[in-house]
Amino acid sequence: MSRHRDRGLPPCPPCACERLPFGADAPWLAPLAGYSDLPFRLLCREYGAAVCVTEMVSAKGLAYFSPGTAELLRSLPEDQPLVVQLFGAEADFLAQAVTMLRAAGYRWFDLNMGCSVPKVLKQKAGAAMLGDPDNALAVARAMIAAAEPGHVGFKLRLGLDDNRPVWQDLALRLQDAGAGWLTLHPRTARQGFGGEARHEALARLAPQLSLPLLASGDLFSADDGLRVLRETGVSGVMYARGAMFDPTIFAAHRALVQGLPAPEPTPQRLRAVILRHVTLARRYCSRESALWKMRGVVPRYVRHLPGAKALRHGLCQCRDWPELMSLLDAFLPDALPQDVSPHAGAG
């Protein structure tokens, strides 16, 4: 382990859970490239995310200790259970990545077979793997062999396009290979994020599996998550864009599952979310990185409010924290009431 530390692979805090939580009351945070860093994961956990997945980590980048890989893997005891999402298309590199990560204390892994970003597709990774199911299975088996039983999941789409649907057959083959869980985003790679997610595919797949199936895609609100759970019979949901726009989606989800009303969105609660994210970013990121991230994050949180465009323009010119806080004070001037906490609804 000392060799990995010397080369920059950060150790993972111990994870006490022997099984990942799945269920209607255990919403997951999806891997979000450029977004689901340590501060954002901690924020989502405080509002009720049961499991968080890292940003995509290149298996080759890990093997060659590429700059930036260590930052993607930074974690804390309160950031558990944590799933590391890997991408790549070569079995040897993926097995090596899992072995290295296990030596540093990481326990849970996921292979991305759904990303349709061109730079990932050019490496024959992500959704491109759906075009070669045999290789996808070879990579999957290599990862499974290098990990503890049941500790590797796989995220997939329906196929490269409508003419090449592979999701059903590939899911069953991954189950037979020893996958611990599956996540299905029911769109094709060609769709990207266009059109609508075909949740009926989840309803068709769920009864065929004996392992947990997570739903992803078009879950913009807790109501969306509960509806998909009810209509498809999946084991749980994974929030992506819904969480990017509103991390309190996890608190709302848990409340609805319990038959309680979701916390009311208010300017005060929104201010609490933003201030808490600022605090976490300043604590766990470099000054430059934290400020840059918050300049991009805040407009997402306030996009539905009047004046959001002007705030975004002001943030683009922002050069330091006092200026950022001044902009926030002007946009959300209400003082934070004593009974509104950034941790409210985290149960």
The binding site comprises 85, 155, 185, 240-241
Which residues face 108 on adjacent strands? 83
Which residues make up each annotated binding site for FMN? 85, 155, 185, 240-241
Tokens of 160: 């490269």
Quote the CA–CA distance of 39 and 284 in Å, as a whole number.
7
Are 262 and 252 in contact, with CB atoms under 8 Å apart? yes
Mutual angle of helices 222-232 and 249-257, in 10-degree steps: 50
* Buried b or exposed e, range 9-19, using 16+ CB within 10 angstroms: bbebeebeeee
Task: Tell me the H-state helices in 178-286.
Answer: 200-205, 222-232, 241-245, 249-257, 267-284
Q: What is the DSSP letter of 235?
A: S
Q: Which of 115, 285, 316, 318 is catalytic?
A: 115
Region for 126 from its dihedrals, namely left if φ exceeds 0, alpha if ψ lies in -120 to 50, beta otherwise: left
What's the CA gap between 38 and 303, in Å, rounded?
A: 23
Q: Among this protein's residues, is 12 annotated catalytic?
A: no
Check residue 165 and report its DSSP letter. B
Asked if residue 213 lies in contact with residue 181, where contact means CB atoms within 8 angstroms, the answer is: yes
CA–CA distance, 231 with 117 (Å, rounded to integer): 30
* Catalytic residue IDs: 115
